[in-house]
Structure 1
Amino acid sequence: MSAPTPAAPMKALLSNWASRAASTVPPASQNYEPLVKNVLRQRLLSRTFLYSALFCWTLVILTATAGRGGVARLGLVGALISPFFPRTLGLAFIIWISGVVPVLVLRKVYLTASPASASSPSGVFRDALNKSSTFRSLAVYLTSASLLTAIHVVTALVFDVRAGRDPRLSLFVKSRKHPYYLNGRLLYLISSQISLAAFYVLRNVMMDRLAVRWTGSMSARAMNEIPSFMLARILTVTASALLLTAMGTVAHIVLFGCARAIVIPFVFKLPVLSHLLRPFLAHFLRGPFALTLLTRHTGLIFRAFMLGFLTISTWDFAENLFDTFVAEPINVAQATADPAVTLVSGTTSQDLYYKHFAFAELAQFARDETHAGSTRRVALFTDQKYNPNLWSAFAREALLTLGRDYQLLLRRGAPPAAAPAPAPPAKKLDAPPQIPKTPFIKEPVLKQKSASPLHSALETIASDGSVTAALASTAEAGASQIPELFRSVLPSQTKAVAETAGAAVETVKKGEQEIMQLAALPGKWKGRLQQELVAQSPSAVRRAAARLERWWHRERVHKVVEAALPNRKLDGLAADALCSLVCASLTEDRYGVVQRDIPRILEALLSFLGAVEDYQSEIITKYPVPSPEEMGQLNAKEAAEMQELALDLARAGDALSEMTDPLKDSIVRIVRTFGDKLSAFKFPPRTARKLQGFVDYH
C-alpha cells in the first residue's frame, strides 16, 4: 500500500483591497521651504545683486566724470564712452564686491521674522549687546569700510597723480629727518570711515534692521510703476545718507579733536608706550587742536565726507533692496502638482518667515473666484489621502498659531512661566517585614565575683571615676551661667582664648568693611564726578542732557503694544485664509467637513478680538491724554510730553488695528455668508453674545 501524498502548504491570497494606513501631510522643510528658498535665491541674484551693482556703477561714473572735469572737458562722446572703460567697470566691480556683497550676505544669514521686544532705546541697545549678530555686523561693516577706504586711497594715488594733483594720502609724511611719521591726513580718513561704520551699525541696531519689514512688501505691480519706485527709493536713500554722513562727520571731528588734544598727550606720558609711539606719532604733539586747524584742512574734511556719503549710500541702497525683495509675496504652489498640499504643508513650517508666505498665498488661494480655484478648493475639502486630512491639518495649524499669540497677548508679551519643579518621589508605604533580632548582651554572661567595699570606694573617687566626672560637668555648666562681672575668677587660660577669638572676629569684620568700601568706591567717584559735571555745566547743556536721558530711557507705548502682538500680520493672514475657506465651504464642501469646525473657529476669532479690545481699553485707561482745553493750560515741557504720548498712542492704535481689522472682517464675512444658518450651531454663552452683536449689526 503506497504512502499518502503530503498536502500542499497553505498560502494567503494576495489582494489589492488590503487596508493601508494613510500618510501624513509632508513637512514644510521638504515640500514648501525649498520652493521659497529657490525664489528668494533668484531674487537675490537677478534683482538685489543686479540693481545694487548698477547703483555702484552709477556712483563710479558720476565721481569719475566729475574728477575728469565734467562733460565740458570730456565732451559728449567722451562722457558716453567713459562708463564702458575697463577701469570704470573694474572699479565699480571692486566697490560692489567690497561694499555690497558682505552686507547682503550678512543680512541673509541673520534675517529673522521676530522683531525686537524692547520698549525703549536703552532696552534695544542692551538687548543688542547680548546678541552675537551685533558684533559680527560691526566687524563686517568695519571691514567693508576699510576696504572702501583702501580702494579710494589707491585710486586717488593713481589717477590724481596722473592728473598732476597730489592727494597727500601716502602712509608716511615726506620728511628726511622723521621718515616714519604717519600721515595725519590718512589717519583722519581711516578714522572717519571707522566712526561712520560704527554709527551706521548703531542706527541699524536701533531700527532693528535685521528683522523683516512686512510693511515694505510689494504686491503685483505693473511694469511702468517700477521706474518710479526705484527713483523714489534712490531719492530716499540719498537724503538719508546725506543726513547720516553729516551727523557722523561732525561727531568724528569732535572725537578726533579729543583724541589729538587729550588722549595722545596722556598716552605719551606712559613710560613704555611713549618710546614705542614716538617715532610714529610724535608730530601730533606739536600745536594745540583748534578751530583754525579745521579751516586749513577743509579739503580733507570734504574728501572724508564724500567718501563717507558714497559708502553709506552704497550700504543703504543695498539694504533697502534686500528689505523690499525678502518681504515681497511669493507664489510657488501654482507650479506644483497639488497646490493645496503644498500650501497646507507650508503652514506647518517652524519658521515664522516661511509660515507668513504660506498663509499669504493660502489667503489668495481661498479668494480665487476662477473655476480652477474652485476646483482646487473642492479637492482640498474632499481630500482623504492624508490622515489627518488637508482641512483638519490646516485648521489645526491656523488655530494653534492664533492660540499661541492669544496666550502671548494675555501675558502682555511676557515669556511663559517656568514649569514647576517635579515633585519628589513618594515614599513606599509597604515597608519590608522586619526580621526579629536577638538583643546583644553587653554584660558578662558568667556571674562575676562581687568586689569588696573598699575597692568600690576607691574606684568612685579616682581621677576618672564617676564622682570626678560629675563634678567636672557641673563646674562647666555653672561657669556658663556665671555673670560677666564674676567671670574674672575663671582660669586665665580661658580668658586668653576668649580674647583671641574676639580679636579674630573683629579683624574679619574690619576686612569685610574695607572690601565693601573698595567695591563701592567706583560708584561714589562716578556719582561725585557726575555731580561736579552737572554743577559746572551751563544750564542749556544740563537741559539738553536731561532731554537726551529722558529720550534714551522713555518707554514707548507703541513698542509695548507691538511686543504683546509681535506676529499680528501673520495672525491677520491666518484669520483671513481660515474664514475665506469657511465661506467657500458653503457651496464647495460636499460632505460638510468644514461646517463641524465653524463653532470653534468663531470662538477662537471672537476670543482673540475680545482680548485685543480689552487691551486697547487698558492702554487708553493707563495712558490718559488731556483734552485740547486742558493741553492749553500746561507749560511747554508738559505739553511736549503729552504730545509725545499722543503720538505713541496713535501708533499703538495703528498696531492694534492691524489685528482687529482682519478679525472683524473675518467674522463679518462668515456672518454674512451663513446668515440664519448659524442658528444650527451651538456656541458657548459668551461666544453667542458676542456673535449676536455682529448678527444684529449686519
Structure 2
Amino acid sequence: MSAPAPATPMKALPSNLALRAAPAVPAAAQNYEPLVKNVLRQRLLSRTFTYSAAFCWMLVVLASTARQGGVSRLGLVGVLVNPFLPRTLGLAFTIWAVGVLPVLVLRKLYLTATPTSASSPSSVYHAALSKSSTLRSLAVYLASASLLTAVHVITALIFEARAGSDPRLNVFVKSKKHPYYLNGRLLYLISSQLSLAAFYVLRNVMMDRLAVRWTGSMSSRAQNDVPSFMLGRILTVIISASLLTAIGTVAHIFLFGLARAVALPVIFQLPFVSRLLRPFLAHFLRGSFSLTLLTKHTGLIFRAFMLGLMTVSTWDFAESLFDTFVAEPVNVSQVTADPAVTLVSGTTSQDLYYKHFAYAELAQFAKDETNAGSTKRVALFTDQKYNPSLWSTLTRETLLVLGRDYQLLLRRGAPEAAAPPPAAPAQKLDAPPQIPKTPYITASVLKGKSASPLHSALETIASDGSVTVALASAAEAGASQVPELFRSVMPSQTAAVAETAGAAVETVKKGEQEILQLAALPGKWREQLQQELVARAPGVVRGGAAQLAHWWRRERVHKVVEAALPNRKLDGLAADALCSLVCASLAEDRYGVVQRDIPRILEALLSFLAAVEEYQSEIVAQHPLPSPEEMGQLSPKEAAEKQELALDLARAGDALSEVADPLKDGIVRIVRTFGDKLSAFKFPPRIARKLQGFVDYN
C-alpha cells in the first residue's frame, strides 16, 4: 500500500541570506572630483574674479583721476567721489569683461598638470607651435587687446574732449581732398597693442604657463597675511609689466618704422594691391621714417606705453591669481561621511591634477595625530565593505604611480616604445583540392600516318595555314579597337605614338627636377642671405647674434632632468602619504593588513631611490666642473659657460631632490618605526643591501 499524501504541501524555508559581491571603491569622477570642482569654482568666483575686478577698478580710478586733472581740477571731494561714479564703475567692469574674463576662461579650458618636456628655448617654442592651444591663445589675446584699445579710444574721445584736449584718435584724418586716409596715430596705437599681445603670448609660451605650477600655497598663511600678500603681488606685477611693456614698446617702434619705410613701399609695387590700398594708406609714402618723427610724437608713444602697461598689468595680475589659487591644496574629505573612502577614491583619478590634490590631502590625513585622525585611519585599515579593500586599492594605485615614473626615469624621459604589431592571423585551410579526373576520349587513340617534313612546312605557311590564320586573327583583334576613321593611318603612326610617349616621360622627369629645385630655393636663399648678413654685419652684431643663437639652442641640464621626472612633486606626495600610513599602521592596524605589503612597498621605494641616485651620479659624470684653481685659469667666456653649467647642475639637483628627499625620509621613518621587526620580512639581495644601509645609519 502507498503512503498517504501529506495534508500540507512541503516548501523551502524563506531566508534573507544571499550571496552579494562587495562593491568596488567608488570612481573618482563620481565621488572625489565633483567636490574638488566645486571648491575650485568657488575660488574662481569669490577670489580670482573679485580680486582681478578690484585691480581693474583701481587702475581705472587712477587713470580717470589723472585724465581729468587730478586734485587741482576735481578737488578733494571730486577725487573721493570719482571712484564710485557710475561711469567709473561701468568702465572698470567693461575693462574686466573684455580684458580679464577671456583670459581666465582660456586658462581654465587649457589647464594641464603635465609640463612641456623641452630642454631649450628652441624646443619649447617648436613644441608650442604643435599645440592647438597656442594659436587659440594668440587669437584670444589679440582680440582682448583690440577690444581694450577700442575702449581706450572711445573713453579718450569722450572724457578728454570734455577736458578741452583733442586726442586725435579718429578713424580718418580730417582732409576734404582725401577723406578716407586712415589716421596714423590710431594705426600706431592698434599695432602697438597687437604686437604687445603677441609678445605677451610668446612670454607665456616660454614660461609654459598653461601648466600648473606647484610652488607655494596660501593654505598655511594666516588670514591677516592676505593683504600683505596681495600688496606684494601687485607690486611684483606692476614691475614686471612695466619692464615687459618697455621692451615691447621699443620693439614695436623698430617694427613700425621698418614696415613704413620698407614693407609698405614694396607692397605698393603690386598692381592690384596698390589700387586697393592707395585711397587709405597713400599718405604714408610721403617722406621717410626717421628718428625725428619720434620726437614729434612722444605723446603718442607715451599713450601707447600707458595703454600697454594697463593691458599687460590686468592680464598678468589675473593670471598670477589663477596660478596661485589652482595650485592651492583642497580639503574636501572633511565634509563627507567617510573621509577615507573619498581620499582613496581621489587617488584613482585618471587626471594627474585631481590626483595631486588627493595625495596632498592624504598626506595630511596620515599625519593627523588627533583622536579623530586615528579613528579615520583605523577605519581605513579595517575596511571590509569594498572589494578590493581601501588599503589594497590605495597601495595598488600608489605603487602604479611610482612605478610609471620609475620606468620613465629609467628611459630618461623618452616615451615608451610602441608595442610590436600583432601577429598575422593564421590562414584558414582551404578545402581539400579536387582530384582531377581524366576526360573521356572519344577520338581514336592510335597514331596516324605522319606526313613528310616538306609537306608540313608548306601547310604551315600556306594562305589557310596555322601561322597565317594566327597573324590575321591578331591583326583583326587589334584593328577592332581602333575607330574606322584612323584605321588607314594606324600602321604609319605607331612609331610617332612611341616617340610622343617617350617625350612625355622625359617632360615629366624634367618637371619633377624643376619642382625639386624650386622647393630647395627657399632654403638656399635663406642660407645665402644669412651668410651675406653675417659677412656684412659689424663684429659686435655678429658676437651678439652668436650669443643669442647659443642661448636659444643651448640644452639646459636641469630641463633634461625635469623631463625625466615630470611628476616629481606628485611622486614625493605619494611616497610621503604611503610611508606615513605604514608607520601609523604599527599601532592602528588591528589585523596586520598593512604589514603584508611592507616588503613590496620598501622594494618600490628603494628601487626608485637607487634610480634617482644613479641618474644624479650620471649627470655629474657627464658634466664635470673644474676646481676653483682650474676656474681661475679659464678665459672669461669659458668661465661664464662653466658658471652657467654649475647653475644648471644645481637646479638639476634640486629637481632630483624633490623625489629623493621624500623617498629617503619615508624609508627612514619606516626603519625607525619597525626597527628589528623588519627582519621578519624577506627582500631581494639588492634591496636588502640597500635597506641594511638605512638600518645601520639609524
1:244 aligned onto 2:256 = no
Q: Which moved more, 1:453-462 or 1:636-645?
A: 453-462
Letter in 1 for 2:600: R
* Counterpart residue number, 1:690: 690
Change in 2 beyond 3 A, CA 1:580/1:533: same
In structure 1, distance between residues paired with 2:632 and 2:158: 65
Change in 2 beyond 3 A, CA 1:537/1:65: same
Question: 1:441-464 deviations in whole A, cap 9, x for unaligned?
Answer: 789444464244377544687479
Show the 5 A alignment for 1:216-615: 216-427=216-427, 434-440=433-439, 444-447=443-446, 449-453=448-452, 457-458=456-457, 462=461, 510-615=510-615
Change in 2 beyond 3 A, CA 1:455/1:552: same
Contact 1:216 1:323 in 2 (8 A): no
Contact 1:106 1:137 in 2 (8 A): yes
Deviation of 1:19 (Å): 2.3
Deviation of 1:5 (Å): 7.6
Letter in 2 for 1:110: Y
Contact 2:380 2:390 in 1 (8 A): yes
Contact 2:68 2:160 in 1 (8 A): no
* Counterpart residue number, 2:476: none
Change in 2 beyond 3 A, CA 1:149/1:494: closer
Q: Secondary structure at the match of 1:438?
A: coil
Question: 1:518-541 deviations in whole A, cap 9, x for unaligned?
Answer: 332222222111111111111111
Letter in 1 for 2:645: L
Change in 2 beyond 3 A, CA 1:10/1:148: farther
Deviation of 1:554 (Å): 1.0
Question: 1:382-437 deviations in whole A, cap 9, x for unaligned?
Answer: 00000000000000000000001111111111111011011122356x87655543
Deviation of 1:64 (Å): 1.4
Question: 1:18-37 deviations in whole A, cap 9, x for unaligned?
Answer: 22110000000000000000
Letter in 1 for 2:126: R
In structure 1, distance between residues paired with 2:307 and 2:505: 67
In structure 1, distance between residues paired with 2:133 and 2:547: 30
Letter in 2 for 1:647: L
In structure 1, distance between residues paired with 2:504 and 2:171: 65
* Counterpart residue number, 2:113: 113
Letter in 2 for 1:439: T
In structure 1, distance between residues paired with 2:465 and 2:614: 83
Show the 5 A alignment for 1:649-688: 649-688=649-688
Letter in 2 for 1:453: S
Q: Secondary structure at the match of 2:215?
A: helix
Deviation of 1:224 (Å): 1.6
Change in 2 beyond 3 A, CA 1:497/1:284: closer
Q: Secondary structure at the match of 1:326?
A: helix
Deviation of 1:494 (Å): 13
In structure 2, distance between residues paired with 1:685 and 1:454: 95
1:40 aligned onto 2:45 = no
Q: How many residues align?
A: 672
Query: Quick one: percent identity of the two aligned structures?
Result: 76
Q: Secondary structure at the match of 1:216?
A: coil
State TM-score, norm by structure 1: 0.92
In structure 2, distance between residues paired with 1:467 and 1:501: 34
Q: Secondary structure at the match of 1:115?
A: coil
* Counterpart residue number, 2:27: 27
Contact 2:460 2:466 in 1 (8 A): yes
Contact 1:267 1:274 in 2 (8 A): yes
Letter in 2 for 1:47: R
Question: 1:61-120 deviations in whole A, cap 9, x for unaligned?
Answer: 111121222234333322222111111111111111111111111101110000000111
Letter in 1 for 2:110: Y
Q: Secondary structure at the match of 2:314?
A: helix
In structure 2, distance between residues paired with 1:465 and 1:208: 90
In structure 1, distance between residues paired with 2:459 and 2:441: 22
* Counterpart residue number, 1:484: none
Deviation of 1:513 (Å): 3.8
Deviation of 1:10 (Å): 5.6
In structure 1, distance between residues paired with 2:624 and 2:226: 44
* Counterpart residue number, 1:92: 92
Q: Which moved more, 1:63-72 or 1:402-411?
A: 63-72
Deviation of 1:639 (Å): 1.6
* Counterpart residue number, 1:486: none
Deviation of 1:240 (Å): 0.4
Deviation of 1:282 (Å): 1.0
Q: Secondary structure at the match of 1:214?
A: coil
In structure 2, distance between residues paired with 1:256 and 1:441: 98
* Counterpart residue number, 1:488: none
Q: Secondary structure at the match of 2:327?
A: coil
Contact 2:245 2:309 in 1 (8 A): yes
Deviation of 1:128 (Å): 0.8
* Counterpart residue number, 2:160: 160
Letter in 2 for 1:381: F
* Counterpart residue number, 1:474: none
In structure 1, distance between residues paired with 2:500 and 2:287: 65
Question: 1:467-521 deviations in whole A, cap 9, x for unaligned?
Answer: 999xxxxxxxxxxxxxxxxxxxxxxx99999999988876665554434333322
Deviation of 1:662 (Å): 0.4
What's the RMSD between the two structures over aligned residues? 2.6
Stretches of structure 2 lacking an aligned partner (at least 5 in a row)? 469-492
In structure 2, distance between residues paired with 1:445 and 1:636: 109
In structure 1, distance between residues paired with 2:261 and 2:369: 73
Q: Secondary structure at the match of 1:116?
A: coil
Change in 2 beyond 3 A, CA 1:177/1:461: closer
* Counterpart residue number, 1:472: none
Change in 2 beyond 3 A, CA 1:352/1:12: farther
In structure 1, distance between residues paired with 2:174 and 2:505: 70
Contact 2:68 2:159 in 1 (8 A): no
In structure 1, distance between residues paired with 2:19 and 2:446: 91
Q: Secondary structure at the match of 1:544?
A: helix
In structure 1, distance between residues paired with 2:222 and 2:651: 31
Deviation of 1:196 (Å): 0.4
Letter in 2 for 1:450: K
In structure 2, distance between residues paired with 1:458 and 1:37: 100
Change in 2 beyond 3 A, CA 1:467/1:206: same
In structure 2, distance between residues paired with 1:443 and 1:288: 107
Letter in 2 for 1:610: A
Change in 2 beyond 3 A, CA 1:12/1:99: farther
In structure 1, distance between residues paired with 2:511 and 2:554: 41
Question: 1:178-210 deviations in whole A, cap 9, x for unaligned?
Answer: 111111000100000000000000000000000
Contact 1:612 1:656 in 2 (8 A): yes
In structure 2, distance between residues paired with 1:573 and 1:244: 36
Contact 2:408 2:564 in 1 (8 A): yes
* Counterpart residue number, 1:616: 616
In structure 2, distance between residues paired with 1:626 and 1:254: 43
State TM-score, norm by structure 2: 0.92
Letter in 2 for 1:163: A
Deviation of 1:623 (Å): 1.3
